[in-house]
Amino acid sequence: MYQIENTIEIDRNYILKEDESTYHSRCSGELLQSHKRYRLIDLFCGAGGMSLGFSEVFGQPFQSVWANDFNQFCGDTYNENFGPHCVVGDIVEILEQGKIEIPKADVVIGGPPCQGFSLLNKNRENDPRKELWRPYLEVVEKSGASIFVMENVPQLLGTFEHGEIVEAARSLGFHVWQDKLIVSA
């Protein structure tokens, strides 16, 4: 049994059967045959690696509707691969100016900059990038998304900012789950 947030117990066998069923549906193309497409926003999108993982190329029923990165080259690459909906610019300024409407979405994905938490950054204490999770959650709220996936470095877990992220997400009505993803060859 898994225990989530100390209140809900989930039978591991149920999760595995559900995952296996979804996997077979994806492999057979059944997921894409359903005409339901989940609207996706990708923040701090770079060239679109996370969007690719959520795309039809990998058998996923997601349609990218909006993206953002502050780097013009990344935005151009994203737009070339996923359509012309990546807005290039500082997300903080975009939200403050209010000139661009955040579209409705089912899911928001992205990885706010990790440099503020990385052990390689010797000046991480006062790094302003540690606060970029705030506009990320503002987009989650404005889009009406019911799910978000935020990726970052393991050093974020257990920090003051991590606690703030969890509390802010809960205040928006989300149940929060976090863990380290370990990939082995």
Percent of the chain with pLDDT over 70: 75
pLDDT tens profile 164-182: 989 999 999 999 988 887 7
Per-domain boundaries in the chain: 1-34, 36-171
Query: Measuring CA to CA, which residue among 93, 112, 107 is closest to residue 165?
Result: 112
pLDDT tens profile 64-98: 999 999 999 999 999 999 999 999 999 999 999 99
Choose the CATH number for 36-171 among 1.20.120.920, 3.40.50.150, 3.40.640.10, 3.30.70.60: 3.40.50.150
86 in catalytic set: no
Catalytic-labelled residue, pool 45, 74, 86, 114:
114
Query: Measuring CA to CA, which residue among 43, 87, 78, 39 is closest to residue 60?
Result: 39
What is the pTM (predicted TM-score) of this model? Answer: 0.78
